[in-house]
Amino acid sequence: MSIFPENTQIEEGEIRASLLKKRRKKQYNFKNQFKALFQKNFRIERKQKKSNICQIMIAFYFIGLVYMLQVIGNKYASVKVPEDKNPIKYSQDFLVNKAVPYLVNSESEAFEEELAPLIKDYEYESGKLLTDGKKPVEKMIGMTLEAKESKDQMDSYFYRSYSSNENANYGYLFKKVNLPGGASQNNAEFSIYYNSTDANYIEGETTPYSVNGATMFLRNGVNTFFRSAFATLMGKDHPNNNGTHNLQIGRKNFPQKAGTTFFDLVRLLQPIYFCCLLHIMIPNFIRQIVREKEHKLIAIMSMMGLKLKVYWVVNYLFNYIMFALLLLVFYLSGYGLKFRIFIQNDFLSHFLLFFLYGNVTIAIAFICAAFFAKEKTARIFSFFLLLIIMVGATTLFQQITKNGDASPITYYLLELIPSCALFHGLQILSDASGIGQAGVRIADLSLNYKNLGSIYLFIIVESIALFMVAYYCWQVLPKGFGNRKNPFFLFMPSTYKKAKKAKDIELNEIENDNYLNFEENKIDINEDSRSDNIDYLYTNSNADEGDDEKFLINSEKNRVMSSKDPIKIMDLSKIYKGKDNQPDVLAVNDLYLGIKNGECFGLLGPNGAGKTTLISILSGLFPQTSGEAIICGYNIKDSFSEIQKHVGVCCQDDRLWDDLTGEETLEFYGKLCGFKGMFLKEQVHDLLEEIGLLDAKNKKIKEYSGGMKRRISVACALIVDPEVIFLDEPTTGLDPSSKRNLWNVLTKAKKLSGGKSIILTTHSMEEAEALSDRIGIMAKGELQALGTSAKLKSNFGKFFKFSYSVSGGEQNEKITSEHIKEMFPRCVLLNSIAGYYQFQIPKKDVVLSELFDNMIKNSKKYNITDWGISQTTLEEVFLHITNQAGLNDGVNI
Ligand SMILES: Nc1ncnc2c1ncn2[C@@H]1O[C@H](COP(=O)(O)OP(=O)(O)OP(=O)(O)O)[C@@H](O)[C@H]1O
């Protein structure tokens, strides 16, 4: 009798005709995979829009916070300044100003007469006259000189200057100027004055006004100018020129309008705040990758053929888009609130800094993600990392450079820490955007250590270096799948050799051998897969029914060595290294096995027998310790990227994205191998229908029940129509009806597209019998038995079970059981309860026709109401074998 319910009988015509008709060539190329992955990520991000919006809006909160601090600073840390039109004592102080200098000789009329023409010369031949060692002074001071006639003129100039925000913040006082041939002394005495008010608010304006390092710079320039001017004026050979010119530096209040002295909190805080903001996405970037790593989603995608370089490119782009959105909000709010750092500096100057730094944040996230296996740990760590970057790096930079006298080497060393480079860049932008500052001009970029140009260069080089470190970390650290490389792999010649395809090796090796023809080895998929012709193992090996299982397993070894099966496992072993003083575990031990085209191989075994380990090795999750396996002609040792194009995997646990729907999940895997358009749609639709999830196709996976998730996981393995399928306990958690439905799907899939080779692990004997052409029973990492279900039962089941129910009380029960013992002297009573008896009888003692006759004749006499005889079940064979093997978990060695 068929194990399938009537309505699920397999009809050849039911096989998905569309797939057979329209089978497409799979194209695992960069473009297809990029599109598939990008769309998948986009779908997930779109569904997480609330948390994403929150993340991005952080930029707005940051700017808002800085703005609030500014308002608070203005309100509580500002001082009202009364109007003072004329604080300068004209009688004492005479000023030369940067923009409109005032020049008066206090002691000699001749000064004006003689110095003024000279200054005109300066304007004419500036470079010549005012060269201060290496640099032309006029470039530093950029002044034009103009004498003021009176006190009123000078005061009104300064007053106007402040009102209109002109740069009238430097002055020169000439106390004594001795001119050639005039006065008794031969030296010039002058003082430099600059504004004593650090930061003034001009009424009605929000921008602060301050004196900063540029003042000193300018002052030196002016000083040099006058020194040169006097020296030239007096002439090198002049008798009165003894070359001494006294310089005094002092401060003077300039005239000012009523306003408010401002404490510039923003300029102080914005570098550190913005530095934090630009790192704020790092925890998110790390979490996303570690989440996919923890739930083994990267592993399953890679098992299903995803090229890892596509994964990283798409991740990079996605993270960059998130970063760009953050920047967008940052800019919108920054410009909206008129932050001078945005307005006063050239757009490109800050945009380049932020844009380039995005790469650093992504590279840092890639590196960190390589170190974590759990999302939770990664989350905690990433906040610590932020703290270190925010407080540690910026404080370190500030402390070391606060006096402004740090050497270029100190700056360069600090900027080797990327966040210090960013912080320095922000400081430069911030300083250049004070009132009266010209801002950073992109045309002025240079590689000077205090120029943004050198910072861009640092960031570019650092991001390239960090990406290289990330690549290295992902190669040598455990990533939950694939082979880990030796930490010195970069120096090993084998790294640079192109791996020879196992296919070529295989064919060359086999050519000389006497191997069975591939077609011979192929199971006829049009016949009932459970028919006797499938017992090739026994036929090929000439094994008789009475041969022991060791012989059968050895015959499989000989057969595999010379076969061209799509799955060939040869001498495969896996040892897990024991941790914390635990012994090593031998999970798979010298296994030989071959799976033919069109064959479903059922792998049974107790918990810990090594089934999952075997499937994991074959699907590339981790490497074997020794031995090899050839899948579709490629060796698992070095050709996994090729193997993955031929394999579909359903792992023991469901590896699905909670936020995708069932349909989207299948579409993703279909697109990964290049299926598209109507073909993909039909494929997904048919498969969803077959697994009974068509109605739930638009539900998110997180809304699926355990059984529904399991069905989608199996469908993922089938969607790409692979030649080889690994199914690790595919029906765990399914209700009986769904289970049978899935069996139906798998039976059909096995026959599709010229046949597939399937390895199925299960704990359900019923399932193994329903689906498997051959069954292997594994224990302690070794195959203990191998054959079809029927052969296993006949080989290992040496007894019948005979049971009956009897009425008429204890006396009659006793008489009946004595009668049975007379008939079968070697029978053993297994059970007796309330008139129900079960005996085990050696098969050799039973002649079925005689037993039937006897029962028909005597059932009335002994009051037997019901009786029956049954063969050994597969479960009994399983228990027998595993008990023999001494059960259970892998072998400690
Ligand atoms: N990552 C691991 N590290 C160390 N030992 C492991 C690891 N995975 C499995 N083992 C051990 O290897 C042996 C085989 O485990 P495996 O998961 O392959 O068994 P299984 O047959 O699939 O069991 P089950 O039926 O319970 O899924 C067990 O003893 C197990 O403890």
Look at ligand 1, atom 8, and give the residue with the nearest C-alpha. 613
Look at ligand 1, atom 7, and give the residue with the nearest C-alpha. 576
What pLDDT is recorded for position 185? 40
Of 396, 74, 29, give the one whose Cα is nearest residue 263. 74
pLDDT over 80 (residue 512): no
Which pair of tokens denotes residue 833? 């309860």
What pLDDT is recorded for position 100? 29
User: Which atom of ligand 1 is closest in space to residue 763's alpha carbon?
Assistant: 25
DSSP secondary structure, 170-199, as one string = EEEEEEEEPPTTSSS---EEEEEEEES-SE
Spatial neighbors of 550 by CB under 8 A, at least 6 apart, are none
Instruction: Tell me the mean pLDDT in the region 528-549.
Output: 39
Dist. CA 625 → ligand 1 center (Å): 15
What separation, in Å, do the N-terminal and C-terminal C-alpha atoms of the chain show? 46
User: Which atom of ligand 1 is closest in space to residue 612's alpha carbon?
Assistant: 22
Of the listed ranges 474-478, 517-521, 560-564, the least confidently predicted one is: 517-521
pLDDT digits (tens, 9 = 90+) for 426-451: 999 988 887 657 788 888 888 888 88
Instruction: Tell me the mean pLDDT in the region 485-499.
Output: 75
Dist. CA 750 → ligand 1 center (Å): 27
What pLDDT is recorded for position 384? 87
Instruction: Tell me the mean pLDDT in the region 247-255.
Output: 48
User: Which atom of ligand 1 is closest in space to residue 652's alpha carbon?
Assistant: 27
Look at ligand 1, atom 5, and give the residue with the nearest C-alpha. 576
What pLDDT is recorded for position 633? 87
Dist. CA 724 → ligand 1 center (Å): 23
Please, are residues 145 and 101 in contact by the beta-carbon 8 Å criterion?
yes
Measured from CB, residues less than 6 Å from any atom of ligand 1 are: 576, 585, 587, 605, 607-613, 652, 889-890
Helix orientation angle between 677-690 and 706-719, rounded to the nearest 10 degrees = 140
User: Which atom of ligand 1 is closest in space to residue 577's alpha carbon?
Assistant: 4
What pLDDT is recorded for position 561? 85
User: Which atom of ligand 1 is closest in space to residue 579's alpha carbon?
Assistant: 4
Which pair of tokens denotes residue 174? 């000439």
Which pair of tokens denotes residue 431? 């300083």
Dist. CA 742 → ligand 1 center (Å): 26
Dist. CA 627 → ligand 1 center (Å): 19
How far apart are the C-alpha atoms of 782 and 785, rounded to whole Å? 9
User: Which atom of ligand 1 is closest in space to residue 781's alpha carbon?
Assistant: 14
Task: Spell out a b/e string for 693-728, using b for 16 or more CB atoms within 10 Å of the CB, else e.
Answer: beebbeebbeebeebbbbbbbbbbbbbbbbbbbbbb
Confidence band of 528 (pLDDT split at 50, 70, 90): very low
Dist. CA 581 → ligand 1 center (Å): 18
Dist. CA 885 → ligand 1 center (Å): 17
Of the listed ranges 73-82, 590-599, 626-635, 850-859, the least confidently predicted one is: 73-82
Look at ligand 1, atom 19, and give the residue with the nearest C-alpha. 608
Please, are residues 638 and 809 in contact by the beta-carbon 8 Å criterion?
no
pLDDT higher at 239 or 71: 71
User: Which atom of ligand 1 is closest in space to residue 729's alpha carbon?
Assistant: 27
User: Which atom of ligand 1 is closest in space to residue 608's alpha carbon?
Assistant: 19
Dist. CA 630 → ligand 1 center (Å): 23
Dist. CA 738 → ligand 1 center (Å): 27
What pLDDT is recorded for position 116? 45
**Highest mean pLDDT of the ranges 100-109, 259-268, 590-599:** 590-599
Q: What is the DSSP letter of 778?
A: E
- Determine if the peptide bond prior to 888 is cis (ω within 30°): yes
Dist. CA 589 → ligand 1 center (Å): 13
Dist. CA 590 → ligand 1 center (Å): 16
Instruction: Tell me the mean pLDDT in the region 532-555.
Output: 47
**Highest mean pLDDT of the ranges 325-339, 475-489, 798-812:** 325-339
How far apart are the C-alpha atoms of 781 and 611, rounded to whole Å? 8
User: Which atom of ligand 1 is closest in space to residue 610's alpha carbon?
Assistant: 18
Which pair of tokens denotes residue 1? 């009798």
Look at ligand 1, atom 2, and give the residue with the nearest C-alpha. 576
Look at ligand 1, atom 20, and give the residue with the nearest C-alpha. 608
- Strand 245-252 to strand 259-261: parallel, antiparallel, or no bridges (unpaired)? unpaired
Spatial neighbors of 506 by CB under 8 A, at least 6 apart, are 630, 633, 635
Dist. CA 613 → ligand 1 center (Å): 6
Look at ligand 1, atom 15, and give the residue with the nearest C-alpha. 608
How far apart are the C-alpha atoms of 2 and 473, rounded to whole Å? 54
Ligand 1, residues 607, 764, 882: which to mutate, most atoms within 8 A of Cβ?
A: 607
Please, are residues 264 and 434 in contact by the beta-carbon 8 Å criterion?
yes
Query: What is the CB-side half-sphere exposure of residue 117 using CA atoms within 13 A?
Result: 4
Dist. CA 745 → ligand 1 center (Å): 28
pLDDT over 70 (residue 125): no
Look at ligand 1, atom 18, and give the residue with the nearest C-alpha. 610
Dist. CA 655 → ligand 1 center (Å): 18
DSSP secondary structure, 409-472, as one string = HHHHHHTTSHHHHHHHHHHHHHHTTSBT-----GGG--S-TTSHHHHHHHHHHHHHHHHHHHHH
Of the listed ranges 161-165, 377-381, 425-429, 807-811, the least confidently predicted one is: 161-165
Largest CA distance in the chain: 159
Of 870, 556, 845, give the one whose Cα is nearest residue 547. 556
SS3 labels along 488-523:
CHHHCHHHHCCCCCHHHHHHHHHHCCCCCCHHHHCC
Confidence band of 257 (pLDDT split at 50, 70, 90): low
Instruction: Tell me the mean pLDDT in the region 605-632.
Output: 89
Ligand 1, residues 296, 576, 579, 589: which to mutate, most atoms within 8 A of Cβ?
A: 576
Confidence band of 714 (pLDDT split at 50, 70, 90): very high
Ligand 1, residues 481, 582, 612, 619: which to mutate, most atoms within 8 A of Cβ?
A: 612
Please, are residues 112 and 103 in contact by the beta-carbon 8 Å criterion?
yes
Please, are residues 186 and 176 in contact by the beta-carbon 8 Å criterion?
no
Look at ligand 1, atom 30, and give the residue with the nearest C-alpha. 608
SS3 labels along 599-637:
CEEEEECCCCCCHHHHHHHHCCCCCCCEEEEEECCEECC
pLDDT digits (tens, 9 = 90+) for 788-835: 888 888 777 778 888 888 887 788 888 888 888 888 888 888 878 888
Dist. CA 587 → ligand 1 center (Å): 6
pLDDT over 50 (residue 329): yes
pTM of the shown model: 0.70
What pLDDT is recorded for position 75? 74
Of the listed ranges 40-49, 301-310, 432-441, 829-838, the least confidently predicted one is: 432-441
pLDDT over 90 (residue 365): yes
Dist. CA 304 → ligand 1 center (Å): 22
Query: Over pLDDT 90: what percentage of the chain?
Result: 26
Dist. CA 483 → ligand 1 center (Å): 18
Ligand 1, residues 585, 731, 762: which to mutate, most atoms within 8 A of Cβ?
A: 585
pLDDT over 60 (residue 168): no
Look at ligand 1, atom 24, and give the residue with the nearest C-alpha. 607
In degrees, to the nearest 5, what angle opens at C-alpha 868 toward C-alphas 864 and 874?
155
Dist. CA 701 → ligand 1 center (Å): 27
User: Which atom of ligand 1 is closest in space to residue 588's alpha carbon?
Assistant: 14
What pLDDT is recorded for position 531? 35
Ligand 1, residues 591, 611, 653, 729: which to mutate, most atoms within 8 A of Cβ?
A: 611
Of the listed ranges 345-359, 509-523, 583-597, the least confidently predicted one is: 509-523
Instruction: Tell me the mean pLDDT in the region 759-783.
Output: 90
The edge-to-edge listing of strands for the beta sheet with 567-576 is 634-635, 626-631, 567-576, 585-595, 891-892
What are the Cα distances from residue 139, in Å, to 131, 440, 584, 663, 755? 10, 17, 76, 69, 83
What pLDDT is recorded for position 587? 92
pLDDT over 90 (residue 471): yes
Instruction: Tell me the mean pLDDT in the region 683-711.
Output: 92
Q: What is the overall mean pLDDT for the chain?
A: 74
What pLDDT is recorded for position 779? 87
Dist. CA 584 → ligand 1 center (Å): 12
C-beta atoms surrounding 857 within 10 Å: 9
Look at ligand 1, atom 26, and give the residue with the nearest C-alpha. 607
ipTM: 0.98
- Strand 774-779 to strand 782-787: parallel, antiparallel, or no bridges (unpaired)? antiparallel
User: Which atom of ligand 1 is closest in space to residue 606's alpha carbon?
Assistant: 25
Burial of 217 (0-12, 13-18, 19+ CB in 10 A): exposed
Ligand 1, residues 613, 726, 892: which to mutate, most atoms within 8 A of Cβ?
A: 613
What pLDDT is recorded for position 301? 92
pLDDT higher at 604 or 580: 604
User: Which atom of ligand 1 is closest in space to residue 778's alpha carbon?
Assistant: 21
pLDDT digits (tens, 9 = 90+) for 550-580: 666 778 888 888 888 899 999 999 998 877 7
Query: Over pLDDT 70: what percentage of the chain?
Result: 68
User: Which atom of ligand 1 is closest in space to residue 609's alpha carbon?
Assistant: 21
